[in-house]
Structure 1
């Protein structure tokens, strides 16, 4: 079981908070994130990593390439990995629950979301081909109580995923990593059909792309979540959602 969290070299405080919040997690490894301030768009265009019409801002490119770099490692190693962003908070019995999930969903899974943004809707295939549902959360109450999450023992169920925003934590298999890498590179202008935002959305971030991609994958979502994030947009260097709508 490989656990990796993504953290920029200069974000020492976020690193310390992540390790404190998740001290119950064993064998966690840090991945040095690609800093958006170092992005050379012309070089990336020449290498076929992005196209000229790519609307990702530099910090969003850095974020996307950080995840994609880890996906490449998953493909090359042939081993699945659990990947977390550095604002993630994991429940106390995370490892036990993850093992149980893998026993229940078979070997063909591609991606498992451990958590999702609680200030956005969640679209699930509750009974595949029979019953779907779109769910909302009490985000205000959640943010008041997020400090208690790491001490919680949670029993979760993997539910087939249609759409979700948020990448605080997920598992990805070699099959899923290969599919997503091939689909997203080069980073480019795309029209994304996303039901939970009522239609078309712009491909302005990795999160947007994935939200539209899950329905075509063997994707699962943990309900209730095993991993959460406060998703504080005042601290985000990528949040410009108003620019994604058509």
Structure 2
């Protein structure tokens, strides 16, 4: 599987840090993604990639279309791939453990969340149709932060993913890519439920929020404990 990480030409130091922290993971491929400065929103609207009602910032548009571009690559070539943000840190045994996890899933899996941003809420089935887990991923308390994960071997389990409004790294299959492309495009500010149902909802302002609306209808999974975390440095 390809292992893409999204990092713009302007983020030279971020790219160097990503590659340094994840030097133990072979064959990482940089995807330059969409440049915020070069983003032509009117052209994207004409291409039906962005709706006129979308409330995303320019940075959120660029980030979203960078992911969508990779989904198109996966769907076109019919080959699953890993996708990481440029601030992701992968565990020491990521290559072996991610391979083991994927082999344990149904062959028609769509999406596997390897990790998300500390402070974000995640909901998944502990016992399908019997018990849910909802909780926040807490920030690393190591003095080294998430960087410590790069030297740590992790043994994880995959659970059916229901919702999370943040992603740090994930695997996506061709069918999963096709489903998310159809569901998330054109980008629009659909109402996203709050973590607490009593709080109602808010208009989506990121791609991760739109993705979260789809997990319960897909063969999506989350790894616990995570195989990657966000580097806050």
Using the size of structure 2 for normalisation, the TM-score is: 0.94
- Counterpart of 2:205 in structure 1 is 204
* Contact 2:189/2:204, CA 8 A, preserved across alignment: yes
Q: CA 1:130 to 1:6, structure 2 compared with 1: closer, same or farther past 3 Å?
A: same
Which sections of structure 2, spanning at least 5 residues, go unmatched?
none
Secondary structure (helix, strand or coil) at the match of 2:141 reads helix
Secondary structure (helix, strand or coil) at the match of 2:205 reads coil
What's the offset of the Cα at 1:118? Answer: 2.0
Q: Distance in 2 between matches of 1:51 and 1:45?
A: 6
The total of aligned residue pairs comes to 232
Q: Distance in 2 between matches of 1:142 and 1:34?
A: 33
- Counterpart of 2:229 in structure 1 is 228
Pair 1:98 & 2:73 matched: no
Secondary structure (helix, strand or coil) at the match of 1:114 reads strand
Structure with a larger share of its residues in helix: 1
What's the offset of the Cα at 1:143? Answer: 7.2
* Contact 1:90/1:149, CA 8 A, preserved across alignment: yes
Which sections of structure 1, spanning at least 5 residues, go unmatched?
233-246
- Counterpart of 1:20 in structure 2 is 20
What's the offset of the Cα at 1:142? Answer: 5.6
Q: How do residues 1-246 of structure 1 correspond to structure 2 at under 5 angstroms?
A: 1-139=1-139, 141=141, 145-195=145-195, 198-230=199-231
Q: Distance in 1 between matches of 2:128 and 2:78?
A: 29
Residue-by-residue CA offset, 1:173-213 (whole Å, 9 max, x unaligned): 00010000011111123122344574312121101111222
Q: CA 1:140 to 1:27, structure 2 compared with 1: closer, same or farther past 3 Å?
A: closer
Q: CA 1:207 to 1:149, structure 2 compared with 1: closer, same or farther past 3 Å?
A: same
Using the size of structure 1 for normalisation, the TM-score is: 0.89
RMSD: 1.7
